[in-house]
Structure 1
Amino acid sequence: MSNSSRKHRARRADAAVRGTQHLANRLRAARRSVRGLDATLRRPQTYPHPAGRIVRIETHISVVYLAGRFAYKIIKPVAPGFADFTATATRARCCEAQLRLNRPLAQGLYADVLPIARHAGVLRLGGGGPAVEHAVKMRRFDEAMLFSSLAANGALTPGDIDGAARRLAGYHLRAPRNAPSSRYGGAAVARTQIETIIAALRTNCSDPAVPGIAAWCARQLDALAPVIERRRTEGFVRGCHGDLHLDNVVRWRGDIAMFDCIDFDDALRWIDVAADVAFLVMDLCARAEPRLANRLLNRWLETSGDYAALSVMPLYIAYRALVRAWVACLKAGHLAGSDVTVPQRALRYIEVARAQTQKPGAVLLLCHGYSGSGKSVASRALADLCGAVRVSSDAERKRPRPAPDAPTALGAEHYTPGARHAIYEHLLQLACGVLQSSHSVIVDATFLERHHRGTFFALAERLGVPVRILDFRAERAVLEQRIEARQKGPRDLSDADTATLARQLASADALTPAEQALTLSFDTAVPMAAFESAAFWRPVLELMQPRMDAGAAASPATCKT
């Protein structure tokens, strides 16, 4: 080694030592500045309202004090590696950012930021004088209503999932798009983030599946780089929540609130909306029923209309799962060189990531039936059960305002032959994109005209995927009864009335013998609970299961109509 090289290495070593010493000094000074703070916030008399018994909850960067009807969160003077909170001003800015950034999704949970000042040697919450610390004041909620608690107790409902999907999709549609850096959410940043977490996980986790997942992620990053960049330039990188696991979502005041977003790292918050929803989909896969994860994704897609997000969804789901696996290892003390067994929660997340590398081959399913046949309700239940993506003619016709705030009925101009053909062409394009992303698709439309069925059969042949018609049947009296009940009930996406049904019955093209050979028939004159059963859908599920090993090898075709 040359003298210059040795000198350069020595200078770098000296700089590293000095940096470590400076950090240690900052940490000591920061801790001195808040001495006595924890004891102060543990005392009920500190608070300007009845506080009762104080409950203290600590994480790696914050402490929360539950006091009566409120919770007070402070940021600890720490430097955990991904951020430096040793300066009082930095912690104050983070508190203000938490208040500002969380309010759109948190449904009134965030109340204020209060200074904590030292007066005559005594720390006071909200007092005058120079602040030594700041606390985020939040309205307290029942921890049993957290999605994580509900999931653990089997109490997370489809209604909870629908509420979360609507809230998140609605926020994403309005979220800020003026990222502070044009790099955020791009392919290079995504690669760095994913490779960093994989490197950390491989250091701290000996699970044999990790190397294979890492290799798959590398291939996906190469293949999807143009797609990620295109979505960035098209405006899908927005100011997102960034940390949407089940512990940060709660059932509150008859709605769903999402809190504790990323506020300290712009690169982790300014992300593709697909990466944001992927976090919650992933955590539902790991900690709840898979059908709830499927439901969330489908409801988010239907509300947002962003079906193109499916192309990057498996990569982002795997990435989010690896992040949570790493966090689980750290929380369990499973560090490099440790003999501690990999924690069960980390293994669950690693399995979710591994499952993304083995997506089943895609299948095209076409709903067929008259208005009132139950195909919309049934196909939603099937999509939740099997993980297919459902696209709906009623929802797409009324985009961008699907239920529940869609108008009760569209004008007649939306149902002319030309408009009807146009919506089928649109559904064809959506189905093509979904299939190319290796997801199965259920197209919910009447498909009463042979021409429309033919274009979708041609698509399946072009892409090399199986296609089936799902024929939903019920007696005419049942169809009419359902339509009349729907018109009297809450708003519905369908505008069909009994006159529409009469026209359908008079003009529908019968299924050809070739089509009948690819048709699975379902009697929908059954209790709606039957749609939730795997037994009801056995022929469809048997069709889809053998496709488990076929999807990865299929080469994408070009979507043409």
Structure 2
Amino acid sequence: MQRSGTYRHPAARVVRIETHISIVYLAGRFAYKIIKPVAPGFADFTASETRRHCCEAQLRLNRPLARGLYLGVLPITRRGRTFTLESSGHGVEHAVKMRRFDESGLFSSLARSGALGPREVDRAAHRLATWHRHAPRVAPLARYGSAALLKAQIDSVIAALQADCAEPGLRETAAWCEQQLAQRAGAIDGRRANGLVRACHGDLHLDNVMRWRGDVSMFDCIDFDDALRWIDIANDAAFLVMDLRTRAGARLSNRLLNRWLEATGDYAALELMPLYVVYRALVRALVACLYSKRGSHPKAAAAAHDAACYIGIAMGETRRPPPVLLLCHGFSGSGKSVAGRALAELSGAVYLSSDVERKRLESTIAANARLDATHYTLEARHAVYDHLLQIAFRVLQAGYSVIVDATFLEHRHRSAFFSLGERLGARVRLLDFHAAPDVLAERIRIRQRTQHDASDADASTLSLQLATADALTSAETTQTFAFDTTRPVEDFDEATFWESVLDLMSSSAVEPASDICRIRCKSGSSHYAAERDCPLPRSASGERPLRCRDDAH
């Protein structure tokens, strides 16, 4: 394979790349991947028929997320004392033929050079969310994605790490995983029952994601074990969230998570996201340990350091500060959406947009479509705040801080969210964004011309808001951070702009919670069935308490 004459196309100098389970030959405009006859522990490739099936699976499974990259499977046949690549026939080995790509476009390479940016991350989030929404849902075996199988998978990784790794935090992390698996078993199986275990990629670290032909491509998915590919979509997304945090920094990781949540609407995934992030970090730590044992491999020298970094990420995920509820307050055009998104990136909070969620409530409305006046009636407005309140409750219960981007110009809406924070023991603060009325109006005009925003607000909307907004009460003012948004928009990306808010969010202080009944409804839902048992306040409209979504419970 290292001889240029083996190939039926110009090959020039053939480059050989070896991983722990495969060998890749870069020949001219193409690459040829051969699976090694090895049994690394998580799979057994020693049988030639197994390797052939894996090659065929690579071609079939990777094409949806890596369009144009995978070209075919070629047999390697023996001719006398030589071997040749053929287009057909019975081979002694098989190779996956791929288009050769510029490795500088890999997310791992971009991260090392500091060139990985928001545009690539947004495209990755959109591509992944689109795949997750439409991925096959009928698993070959019912146990795939189950709590029992996940526990066995995590236990296996931890056992292998404990046998080869002396990191002091590993025992503590293992105990945390055991506790989480016990507490979240119902949620894990509940998501599986609801169809959220799907045919995923399964191995979304930065070496398997790249900038490709003006878009983002994800390749080299799990092809040798259906149990590692048929997983909760949150488990799949968590891999990329985790590896971005480790290798590209928290801001891009936070951005990807928020973009994926916004695209899927799967905020319930946050209950399991910390567990999945820890699991994925431990998986990469184990891979690094495998490399560290091979002293001759180019990656061996840095492998021990990489393992420690991944275990550090896992430990950090188990020690999240108490969540904070932040409410963006301001008129349309005040800059609260741009500022709120920037703060979410810096802080790791989950960002909720009233404009996005309003359109999500209308399942037939496209995300970029404009809504008419019927969607902005008093009743419709209360419904949006009720919806945001329920999502905020779920996010806070999962241990994540949340930024709710809505105008919050009515006292009743602000009061409902403050009551939620009080009942859950979460600190609540208003982020008051303000600018002069003429500045607000000009921003709205510009936004309408560009049409790149989910907001439907126009000049008449702003006029109505200015005339009818409820002033902040004295009690609310004491819980408010005020921001002048006439400053350059670049200031929002600086931690110094948010210093007081970030200090609050990193604090370990917890406000006292009201006494509430913790009896869950029969489905295991985190929404409580009866008003006397419900930790939520009355809804933002004041009409009724929030109830379990399943009326049967």
With normalisation by structure 2, the TM-score equals 0.89
Residue 169 of structure 1 corresponds to which residue in structure 2?
129
CA shift for structure 1 position 202: 0.7
Asked whether 1:247 is paired with 2:207, we answer yes
Residue 347 of structure 2 corresponds to which residue in structure 1?
386
Residue 320 of structure 2 corresponds to which residue in structure 1?
359
- Please say if residues 117 and 127 of structure 1, whose CA atoms lie closer than 8 Å, have aligned partners that are also in contact: no
Residue 95 of structure 2 corresponds to which residue in structure 1?
135
Question: What whole-Å deviation, never above 9, does each CA across 1:535-554 have from its counterpart, x for those lacking one?
Answer: 111121121121278999x9
State the secondary structure of the residue aligned to 2:72: strand
- Please say if residues 74 and 88 of structure 2, whose CA atoms lie closer than 8 Å, have aligned partners that are also in contact: no
State the secondary structure of the residue aligned to 1:271: strand
Residue 542 of structure 2 corresponds to which residue in structure 1?
none
State the secondary structure of the residue aligned to 1:328: helix
- Please say if residues 362 and 547 of structure 1, whose CA atoms lie closer than 8 Å, have aligned partners that are also in contact: no
CA shift for structure 1 position 487: 1.2
- Please say if residues 118 and 129 of structure 1, whose CA atoms lie closer than 8 Å, have aligned partners that are also in contact: no
Provide closer, same or farther for how the CA distance between residues 440 and 224 of structure 1 changes in structure 2, counting only shifts above 3 A. Answer: same
Asked whether 1:473 is paired with 2:414, we answer no
State the secondary structure of the residue aligned to 1:57: strand
- Please say if residues 425 and 510 of structure 2, whose CA atoms lie closer than 8 Å, have aligned partners that are also in contact: no
For the residues of structure 2 that align with 1:541 and 1:144, how far apart are their CA atoms?
35
Asked whether 1:279 is paired with 2:242, we answer no
- Please say if residues 360 and 549 of structure 1, whose CA atoms lie closer than 8 Å, have aligned partners that are also in contact: no
Selected match of 1:88 from 36, 39, 48: 48
Asked whether 1:298 is paired with 2:258, we answer yes
For the residues of structure 2 that align with 1:519 and 1:323, how far apart are their CA atoms?
42
Q: How does 1:30-429 map to 2 (within 5 A)?
A: 41-333=1-293, 343-399=304-360, 406-429=367-390
For the residues of structure 1 that align with 2:450 and 2:202, how far apart are their CA atoms?
38
CA shift for structure 1 position 341: 11
CA shift for structure 1 position 147: 0.7
Query: Which runs of no fewer than 5 residues in structure 2 stay unpaired?
Result: 296-300, 519-533, 537-544, 547-553
Give the aligned residue type for 2:170.
V
For the residues of structure 1 that align with 2:173 and 2:381, how far apart are their CA atoms?
44
Residue 3 of structure 1 corresponds to which residue in structure 2?
none
CA shift for structure 1 position 154: 1.2
CA shift for structure 1 position 465: 0.8
State the secondary structure of the residue aligned to 2:495: coil
Question: What whole-Å deviation, never above 9, does each CA across 1:16-50 have from its counterpart, x for those lacking one?
Answer: xxxxxxxxxxxxxxxxxxxxxxxxx1111222222
Question: What whole-Å deviation, never above 9, does each CA across 1:346-368 have from its counterpart, x for those lacking one?
Answer: 11111101011111101000001
Provide closer, same or farther for how the CA distance between residues 151 and 344 of structure 1 changes in structure 2, counting only shifts above 3 A. Answer: same
- Please say if residues 180 and 275 of structure 2, whose CA atoms lie closer than 8 Å, have aligned partners that are also in contact: yes
Selected match of 2:425 from 464, 480, 490: 464
State the secondary structure of the residue aligned to 2:65: helix
For the residues of structure 1 that align with 2:323 and 2:27, how far apart are their CA atoms?
52
Residue 17 of structure 1 corresponds to which residue in structure 2?
none
Selected match of 2:500 from 539, 555, 558: 539
State the secondary structure of the residue aligned to 2:414: helix
Higher helix share: 1
For the residues of structure 2 that align with 1:217 and 1:494, how far apart are their CA atoms?
41
State the secondary structure of the residue aligned to 1:364: strand
Q: How does 1:544-555 map to 2 (within 5 A)?
A: 544-547=505-508
Selected match of 1:487 from 420, 430, 448: 448
CA shift for structure 1 position 178: 0.6
CA shift for structure 1 position 517: 1.2
For the residues of structure 2 that align with 1:130 and 1:212, how far apart are their CA atoms?
52
Selected match of 2:414 from 433, 445, 453: 453
For the residues of structure 2 that align with 1:47 and 1:101, how far apart are their CA atoms?
25
- Please say if residues 119 and 129 of structure 1, whose CA atoms lie closer than 8 Å, have aligned partners that are also in contact: no
For the residues of structure 1 that align with 2:512 and 2:128, how far apart are their CA atoms?
30
For the residues of structure 2 that align with 1:445 and 1:246, how far apart are their CA atoms?
34
Q: Once superposed, which parts of structure 1, at least 4 consecutive aligned residues long, lie more than 3 Å away? A: 119-122, 548-552, 554-561
CA shift for structure 1 position 92: 1.6
Selected match of 1:512 from 461, 473, 494: 473
For the residues of structure 2 that align with 1:149 and 1:548, how far apart are their CA atoms?
39
- Please say if residues 334 and 341 of structure 1, whose CA atoms lie closer than 8 Å, have aligned partners that are also in contact: no
- Please say if residues 374 and 472 of structure 1, whose CA atoms lie closer than 8 Å, have aligned partners that are also in contact: yes
For the residues of structure 1 that align with 2:506 and 2:512, how far apart are their CA atoms?
11
Provide closer, same or farther for how the CA distance between residues 106 and 282 of structure 1 changes in structure 2, counting only shifts above 3 A. Answer: same
- Please say if residues 420 and 535 of structure 2, whose CA atoms lie closer than 8 Å, have aligned partners that are also in contact: no
Question: What whole-Å deviation, never above 9, does each CA across 1:52-86 have from its counterpart, x for those lacking one?
Answer: 21111111211111111111111122222322223
Provide closer, same or farther for how the CA distance between residues 517 and 551 of structure 1 changes in structure 2, counting only shifts above 3 A. Answer: closer
State the secondary structure of the residue aligned to 2:399: coil
The worse-fitting range, judged by mean Cα deviation, of 504-513 and 115-124 is 115-124
For the residues of structure 2 that align with 1:247 and 1:235, how far apart are their CA atoms?
29
For the residues of structure 2 that align with 1:401 and 1:257, how far apart are their CA atoms?
31
Q: What is the number of residues matched between the two proteins?
A: 515
State the secondary structure of the residue aligned to 1:537: helix
- Please say if residues 42 and 65 of structure 1, whose CA atoms lie closer than 8 Å, have aligned partners that are also in contact: yes
Provide closer, same or farther for how the CA distance between residues 295 and 110 of structure 1 changes in structure 2, counting only shifts above 3 A. Answer: same
CA shift for structure 1 position 117: 2.2
Residue 20 of structure 1 corresponds to which residue in structure 2?
none
For the residues of structure 1 that align with 2:132 and 2:148, how far apart are their CA atoms?
23
Provide closer, same or farther for how the CA distance between residues 247 and 342 of structure 1 changes in structure 2, counting only shifts above 3 A. Answer: closer
For the residues of structure 1 that align with 2:252 and 2:509, how far apart are their CA atoms?
21
- Please say if residues 71 and 137 of structure 1, whose CA atoms lie closer than 8 Å, have aligned partners that are also in contact: yes
With normalisation by structure 1, the TM-score equals 0.88
Larger Rg: 1
For the residues of structure 1 that align with 2:271 and 2:15, how far apart are their CA atoms?
44
For the residues of structure 2 that align with 1:493 and 1:208, how far apart are their CA atoms?
47
Provide closer, same or farther for how the CA distance between residues 85 and 385 of structure 1 changes in structure 2, counting only shifts above 3 A. Answer: same
CA shift for structure 1 position 411: 2.5
The worse-fitting range, judged by mean Cα deviation, of 542-551 and 487-496 is 542-551
- Please say if residues 359 and 366 of structure 2, whose CA atoms lie closer than 8 Å, have aligned partners that are also in contact: no
Query: Which runs of no fewer than 5 residues in structure 1 stay unpaired?
Result: 1-40
CA shift for structure 1 position 128: 4.5
- Please say if residues 103 and 109 of structure 1, whose CA atoms lie closer than 8 Å, have aligned partners that are also in contact: yes
